[in-house]
Structure 1
Amino acid sequence: MPDTTGAAGLTVGQVAARLDVTVRALHHWDEIGLVRPSLRTAGGYRLYTAADLERLHRVVVYREIGLGLDRIRAVLDDPATDVPAALRAQRAQVADRVERLQRLGAGLDRMIEAHERGLPLTVEEQAGIFGPDWDPEGPAKARARYGDTAQWRQYAERAASRTPEEWRAVTAATAALDGDLASAMEAGVAPGTPEADALVERHRAVFAAYFPLTREMQVCLARTYESDPGFAAHYDTIRPGLASWFRRAVDASARAHGIDPATATWR
């Protein structure tokens, strides 16, 4: 309860300081008739009495627990208002907000983890999804290499909200594409043909699980698949020479869209 000793005749500014509210709020409550100063000076200035201050204190308490001003007026002035019921209803709303905030907090934790670690999954989940040969340090290495890029931020945003089941779907789509690329190469599909171009487009669609991939970026990525020992070994395990075949297929598709592979940049 507020200390109302000597409270009679307090000015708007004094009341605002005592109750830690704004002068603007006090003026508004006065205008709508929620709490009006009972006294005025000879010069017309508003003055609050001890009773006014007590009512203001109750308004502040109810406002802090989330009641709207109309509801506060009913609680204070309407004898028919069931105050415990009103407070229980407000408590339920607060509980809903708390639950939403907890979900938001969990989402923020996952987003932070995705930005900092690259993959918000446990080591066990990673092994179960990506296979026993998966390097759990891979995402951290990628973070060290690409963490300052826009694409890493896009990837982290996707990774933060993705469930293990969704990661399994991404992994399955990637594996299916790799298998179809190998089958096309074995069947003698030439880069630049409609079948090869369709696989190139499918690669962009599958890769979009990580971040949007432009055609120029795809050219750069295919070049990395061929030149980077780790990527090249992965594709050569699927089918010897697959990385080079895919790079040629991407280059041919890029040319068909007016892009010179020799001058393509990561953009």
Structure 2
Amino acid sequence: MTGSEARAVVETEQLEAEGALALADFPLRPKELALRDGWLEVSRAIGRAAYEGALRLEVDLPPGLLPRWTSIDVPCGQLTAARAPDGPAPPADAIEIELPEGTTTPLFLKPGAFPIGSWTAPKRPAPNDDVPYERLIARVLERRDGYLRVRIEDRNAVVAWVARSAVRDHEDADIYGGLLGNEVGDSGNDITCRTAVPIHVRVENELVRVGRLKPNITVRTTRVYRGDAELALGQTTAVPFIARRDLRACDFP
């Protein structure tokens, strides 16, 4: 690896090909999925520069967090292009929190220490606006002296402390009752949404919006996985679903 390029070799039973590959063309991650510097877990990053046997990775943070991205240096021998495995499902009694809409709160490496960043919850768009609403949910890991240690997860994960007074309990458990009681399981429920909601699929660990479910149209769900309602929309190469953050506009008869 040199600069912003890597020398790549692809070998099959019939041939071997070699050539230059731009680092930004393929995602990488550290082989070990562990917290770096006590706050960052990297599942997907982009190489930006190579030097002295190491690679500088650009890591996107979950939406709503500032800074929007950070960089880390990883020795080349500790990198992999393999997709990160799915983590274990949260325990059944896991507590989730969110920020009130339109508010911002600092993120701390330790309770009361100097902030390492901030978390902002946008205001909800008007019902008729066809605008994606990024609602970020965090899972509580620990409590201490008026602070909560939380895990905020998207493509990559951030673990940090927030003031308990700045957040509220996540409301979905009360809204959906038993449907979301199991993080993984069959549901077979009908779903009807009062407003148009986005439909997404996952492609190589990325969330891709592919359309929307129109208001007051009833469709069948196949299961609920980590809070997302997967939809029975016929033969598809990727599983379409309504993300948990958008389900507040939906009812399950």
| TM bracket, shorter-chain basis | under 0.3
Q: State which structure, 1 or 2, has the greater radius of gyration over its C-alpha atoms.
A: 1
TM-score (normalised: structure 1):
0.23
TM-score (normalised: structure 2):
0.24
Greater percentage in helix: 1
